[in-house]
């Protein structure tokens, strides 16, 4: 069945269709188009966002692990510090060195700590950098001994329970006895320092 439209009705129908097409074009250009572009941009950003999320998860896990490592390190520092004698125990350390020398048959002429401004060590002069947890006190020894006796003494110093190490050694011949030598020796003794320890406790 064919419907005949009057010219006025045809114009009205064309006007409605034109308005509908214009509305659809405006909707597509200004609503659907921007939404599609935004969706595309979001799709492109998704991999980067996933990577950032993974990085945050790893960082969070590492932070907990680092805090635990820091706590364990603080405990280790405190445990090692307890092994060091206090600075007030310098005399027993010197006495211990004298006993080791006597046992090795090394004759000590003089033994004295060098409690000077630079006793903490100076990296530029071959020393050690200062530490808030321990103090280094050089102990100078002038002695007389043969090579075997000196070797025994140095071995016992290095393996002693007191934390010490040989810093410098000079040996000169003794004109009076070819088997005895004059020795100048500096031993670095390590002592617990009271600075900054309260922060760890």
DSSP string of 1-40, one letter each residue = -PPP--HHHHHHHHHHHHHHHHHHHHHIIIIIHHHHHHHH
Question: Per residue in 107-151, pLDDT tens?
Answer: 999 999 986 544 444 433 444 555 677 788 999 999 999 889 999
Question: Per residue in 65-78, pLDDT tens?
Answer: 888 888 887 777 67
Phi-psi region of 168 (alpha: psi -120 to 50; beta: other; left: phi over 0): beta
Question: Per residue in 3-49, pLDDT tens?
Answer: 676 778 778 788 888 888 888 788 777 777 777 888 777 788 788 88
Three-state DSSP class for residue 43: helix
* H or E segment to which residue 52 belongs: helix 33-83
Distances (CA, A) of 177 to 46, 106, 182: 86, 14, 10
Closest CA to 139 of 197, 160, 177, 196: 160
Distance CA 180, CA 107 (A): 10
Q: Provide the 8-state DSSP code for 105.
A: T
Question: Per residue in 139-195, pLDDT tens?
Answer: 999 999 988 999 999 999 988 888 888 999 998 887 777 778 899 999 998 888 765
Q: Provide the 8-state DSSP code for 66.
A: H
Predicted local confidence at residue 184, as pLDDT: 94
Predicted local confidence at residue 127, as pLDDT: 47
Give me the phi and psi of 170, to 5 degrees please.
-130, 135
Distance CA 151, CA 104 (A): 9
Predicted local confidence at residue 116, as pLDDT: 59
Distance CA 100, CA 93 (A): 11
**Alpha helix (H) residue ranges in 84-112:** 90-103
Distances (CA, A) of 40 to 27, 28, 37, 51, 103: 19, 16, 5, 18, 85
Q: Is the pTM of this model over 0.75?
A: no
């Amino acid at each position: 069945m064919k419907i005949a439209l009057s010219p006025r009705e045809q114009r009205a129908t064309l006007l409605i269709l034109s308005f509908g097409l214009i509305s659809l074009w405006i909707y597509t250009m200004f609503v659907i188009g921007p939404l599609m572009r935004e969706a595309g941009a979001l799709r492109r950003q998704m991999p980067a966002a996933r990577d950032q999320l993974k990085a945050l998860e790893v960082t969070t896990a590492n932070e907990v692990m680092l805090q635990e490592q820091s706590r364990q390190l603080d405990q280790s520092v405190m445990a090692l510090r307890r092994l060091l004698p206090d600075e007030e125990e310098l005399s027993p350390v010197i006495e211990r060195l004298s006993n080791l020398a006597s046992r090795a048959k090394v004759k000590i002429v003089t033994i004295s700590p060098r409690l000077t401004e630079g006793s903490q060590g100076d990296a530029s002069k071959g020393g050690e950098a200062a530490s808030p947890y321990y103090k280094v006190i050089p102990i100078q020894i002038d002695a007389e001994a043969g090579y075997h006796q000196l070797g025994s003494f140095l071995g016992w110093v290095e393996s002693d329970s007191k934390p010490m190490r040989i810093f410098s050694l000079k040996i000169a011949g003794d004109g009076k006895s070819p088997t005895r030598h004059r020795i100048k020796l500096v031993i670095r003794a390590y002592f617990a320092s009271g600075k900054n320890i309260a922060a760890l406790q």
